[in-house]
Amino acid sequence: MTVETLLQNLPWKAVSVTDPGREITGGYAGDLLSWVMGRAESGDCWLTIMSNINVVAVAQLTDVACVVFTEGVMPDESVIAAAKQHDINLIACDEPTFAAGSKVAELLR
């Protein structure tokens, strides 16, 4: 499934999607960036409520396919600008992380 397909299937907001064809191969949920750094895998759809700019750096480092901000969290302009610059896909939704993750998992089946 690509990031574009994910967005076609779920009413989530494409905050900054510069690489819609990126393939999603798995998922990861977590907010402690020091943990995410060592655990999220390349191709993951990463769900988090953390919106600090370091999220972009961690997304780059782990090579996740996209970042989904859950629970209505919306990153600020500086985060969006950094994501565009580094080609990191950012998505936002209002759902709690568990519910959002379940939907991604369902689509990945």
Partner 1 sequence: MTAFAYDLHVHSCLSPCGDDDMTPCNIAGMAHLNGLEIVALTDHNASRNCPAFFRACETYGIVPVAGMELTTAEDIHLVCLFETLEQALAFEEALQPMRMQIKNRKGIYGEQRILNENDVCIGEEPFFLPAATMLDLETAAKRVAQYGGVCYPAHIDREANGLLAILGAFPPEPVFLCAELREAEHRELAEGRKILVCSDAHRLWELKEEGEPIELDAPKDDPAAVRKALIDALKRGRL
Binding site for partner 1 (CB under 8 A): 31-37, 50, 52-54, 57-58, 78
Pick 9 or 85: Cβ nearer partner 1: 85
Burial call 82-108: b when 16+ CB within 10 Å, e when fewer: bbeeeebbbbbbebebeebbebbeeee
Write down the least CB distance from residue 76 to partner 1, Å.
9
> Alpha-carbon distance 6 to 79, whole Å?
22
Nearer to partner 1, 4 or 71 (CB): 71
The CA distance from 24 to 100, in Å, is 15
Least distance in angstroms from the C-beta of 58 to partner 1: 6
CB of 69 to partner 1, least distance (A): 13
8 or 39, CB closer to partner 1?
A: 39
